[in-house]
A and B are shown apart, each in its own frame.
Chain A
Amino acid sequence: MTNEFEKFTEDDYKDLIEDVKAAGAVPEPSPLFWNHLSARVRETVAAEPIPAAWWMVYWRPIAMAVGTAGLVAFVMLRTHAPAVPAPVAPSAHDLVADVEVSEMWRMISVAAPAVEMESAREAGLMPTEYATDQAIESLTPAQREALVRLLRKEMGVSE
């Protein structure tokens, strides 16, 4: 084989590459073949469960712990922070913008999906029976309007 390499000129190399390229044409299968192939794959994996991502195996417990701690911190801040009356009632648009840039809201958005109901219950974070009603009743009209906008946006409902 060493002798072969010694005799391997640049022209030999180019000719050989051209030969290989010319021999590499793949006949185009019937257009129906592609859909048929996709259907075969779909049928074969139909009974298979979708496996969990590798990072979820490691990060789920950590994310749950961080999420729970975040929620506890949020509730404590809300409970102990002195209420400062706003001199002028902000508009609904301002409130939505404020909430969206708020670090606290961002933290809650990131942490909340990873927190199981069971973990939240164990941490004593479940609301009382009428807590939601009371919270909504305590909102100003502008705040309610902002809440509606946020919910619509989350649900993908246009205004």
Chain B
Amino acid sequence: MSTAIAIWASQVTELPVTIDTLRGADDRALIAAFLGGHRDAFDVIVERHRKQIYQLCYRFLGNHEDAADLTQDVFVRAFKGLHSFKGDSALGTWLYRVGVNVCLNRVALKTPKLETIEPEQHVDQRNPDAHELVARGERAVVVRRAIAKLPPKQRATLVLRIYQEMSHEEIATVLNSSVGAVKANFFHALGNLKRLLQQAT
């Protein structure tokens, strides 16, 4: 018996469905189970997607505290809004859309405080490549600061394209815009980033 049928049968017969059964289910079966009254199904959705959403939020906000808060906010909104999910895209893409909106709202309200990662703290100075690693770390800090200065839509496009490795079409779905607008935003983001990095060095 497939996992989806097991969950459906449990809804019909009102027999309990185990967390292991839910963990074996695909996203669609989990959504059906959740909307059918299984709260545990939502726990499994959180468990499955929390890392990607946290990384997305971290790349927007640049610090752990804000990223953790916003990840929680994304899943709370998802809980309340999952009934309107029509399955036009993957659940992960829909969660990214919620995540990007939450991040853009936060960025519009307050400038995120970038976490200060001192490269020297993470490099063993006895390592012969230590200087190279420190230089790379310093460069990363400069690039992160430059990305944080990009207009929100450009930053969103850059994050989704380069870090989340999404296609232009997927990004258009997440940002609720056209593929042409996504390509233009990405191009502008790179141009602005280049200018900002030149100013910083």
Contacts and interface: CB of A to CB of B under 8 A. Distances in A.
Do A and B come from the same complex? yes
Interface of A: 1, 4-5, 8, 12-13, 16-17, 19-27, 29, 33-34, 37-38, 40-42, 44-45, 48, 50-54, 56, 113, 154-156
Give the interface SS of chain B, mostly helix, strand, loop or mixed: helix
Given A8-B191, A17-B162, A50-B35, A22 B72 contact: no
Contacts of B37: 50
A20 B142 CA distance: 10
B113 interface: no
Given A29-B54, A53-B35, A1 B192 contact: yes
A48 B193 CA distance: 43
Interface in B112-162: 115, 117, 136, 139-141, 143-144, 147, 158, 162
Given A17-B162, A22-B139, A48-B80, A27 B117 contact: yes
12 contacts: A1-B195, A4-B195, A19-B139, A20-B158, A23-B139, A33-B68, A37-B68, A40-B72, A41-B46, A42-B43, A44-B76, A52-B83
A19 B143 contact: yes
Given A8-B191, A48-B79, A154-B13, A24 B39 contact: no
Nearest to A50: B37
What size tier do the contact residues of chain B reach? 35 or more
B64 A29 contact: yes
Contacts of B111: none
A51 B77 CA distance: 12
